[in-house]
Structures are given as structure tokens and as C-alpha cells.
Amino acid sequence: MPRLWTDTIETHRRDVREAVIATTATLICEHGLLSVTMSRIAEDAGIGRATLYKYFPDVEAILLAWHERQVDAHLDHLVAASRQGGSPLERLRTVLDAYAVMTNESAKHHDTDVAALIHRHDQVGTAEQRLHDLVQGLVADAAANGAIRTDVKPDELTAYCLSALGAAAALPSKAAIRRLVSVTLGGLRDQDGS
């Protein structure tokens, strides 16, 4: 096949896939997970049901694709935040701030049925590992730079940070989120205050 034809087909497939994912997300927001059907998705996306089934076998598969896209965007944002410069401790603070804000914002948008469905899958564990690895690298850099304690392994400090910042989901304001990040960073300092 000529390259132009191949590129055109790939662009079309990507566009159809994105339209299906966006339509599904909209329908779920408007009507709830249990009311969304493949027929309704196909109709609202402007494609035939047979075409839809070529891309996704069921609503769950569409939701998993949507979730993967969201998680990748969040992780990309955190990676970009980690590269903003500054000292190792400043980069760690930037990423922890961004993560806490994301945790808070995503808690406001979670449909419990959708969350239960999505969090059963392996991709959640993979995303959590990528997040853990990113933060652990920043923690290790800050420890090597003398900015945080070295008597606890970076892996354990990372688990502490991510667990503590999970509380951001219930916080009412950005100021409360900033305070939580400051308290979390305070726990990374040596007992003698360094």
C-alpha cells in the first residue's frame, strides 16, 4: 500500500477510536455507567455498531482505553513537572504538589461504578508502579543531595509520600493540599531537623 494511503487509514482509525472514547465518557457523565450501551455509543459517535465492535468488544474495553489515556496524560504531566529544574528537593516538591492536586481533582470526578470496574485491571498496577518509580527517583536524588533523610530507604519514603498524599482526595481547597504536601515533606527530614 502507498504510504499516503496507510497514513490516511491510521489517521481514520485513530479518529474513530478517539470519537468512541469521547462519546462513551460523555454518555457516562450524562447518564451513568449502567445506562450506556454499545448501540447508544455507536449512534452518538456516528458510526455503525459493526464498526464499533471492530474497535472494542464491549463498554468495559472502551472504559479501559479511556482510563489508560487519562493515566498516561497524568503521568506525562508528572514527568514534565519533574524536569522543571531546581534542586532535587524542589523537583520532588513540584511533583508531589502536582500529584496531590491530581488526586484531589480526580476524586471529584469519580463515578463509583466506573472506578470499581477500572481498578480491577492490571493497567492500574502498572500505572502505580510507574508513579512509584518516578517519585522514588526524585526521593533518591534528594537524599543523595542531603536534602532529606537517608536512614530510611527511598522505596519506603516513596510509599510514605504517596500514601500520605492520598488524603488529598478529601481536602476542600488548594491551600489545604499545599499544607498536606508541606507536612509530607516535613516527614522526609531527619529527626535532627535537616
Q: Are 92 and 121 within one domain?
A: yes
> Which of 39, 57, 75 is the endpoint of a domain?
57
What's the CATH number where 177 sits? 1.10.357.10
Residue 194 resides in a domain: no
Q: Are residues 41 and 92 in the same domain?
A: no
Kindly tell me if the per-residue pLDDT of 72 is higher than 80: yes
The pLDDT of residue 85 is 85
Selection from 127, 91, 88 nearest residue 106 by Cα? 127
Verify that 25 and 52 share a domain, yes or no: yes
Q: Are residues 69 and 133 in the same domain?
A: yes
Cell 536512614 sits on residue: 151
**Final residue before a domain boundary, out of 57, 74, 93:** 57
Burial class (CB in 10 A: 0-12, 13-18, 19+), 3: exposed
Same domain, 182 and 87: yes
- Does 117 have pLDDT greater than 70? no
Mean pLDDT of the 44-68 span: 94
For position 3, what pLDDT does the model report? 65
Do 170 and 119 lie in one domain? The reply is: yes
Whether residues 73 and 128 fall in one domain: yes
As a three-state string, the secondary structure of 12-60 is: HHHHHHHHHHHHHHHHHHHHCHHHCCHHHHHHHHCCCHHHHHHHCCCHH
Residue 77 has pLDDT above 70, yes or no: yes
* 181-187: average pLDDT: 97
**CATH number (domain holding residue 24):** 1.10.10.60
Whether 48 and 72 map to the same domain: the answer is: no
* Within-domain flag for 192: no
Does a structural domain hold residue 74?
yes
pLDDT at 130 over 80: yes
Q: Is 99 found in the same domain as 18?
A: no
- Residues 1-11: tens digit of each pLDDT: 556 666 789 99
Domain limits for position 91: 61-186
- In this predicted structure, what is the pLDDT of residue 194? 47
Asked whether the predicted pLDDT for residue 113 surpasses 70, the reply is: no
Together in a domain, 119 and 181: yes
Backbone angles phi, psi at 66, to 5 degrees: -60, -45
d(CA 194, CA 189): 6
Q: What per-residue confidence (pLDDT) applies to 166?
A: 95
Please determine, for residue 45, whether its predicted confidence score (pLDDT) is greater than 80: yes
Domain assignment of residue 191, yes or no: no
Total structural domains in the chain?
A: 2
CA nearest neighbour of 47 among 18, 22, 16:
16
Confidence of residue 121 (pLDDT cuts 50, 70, 90): low
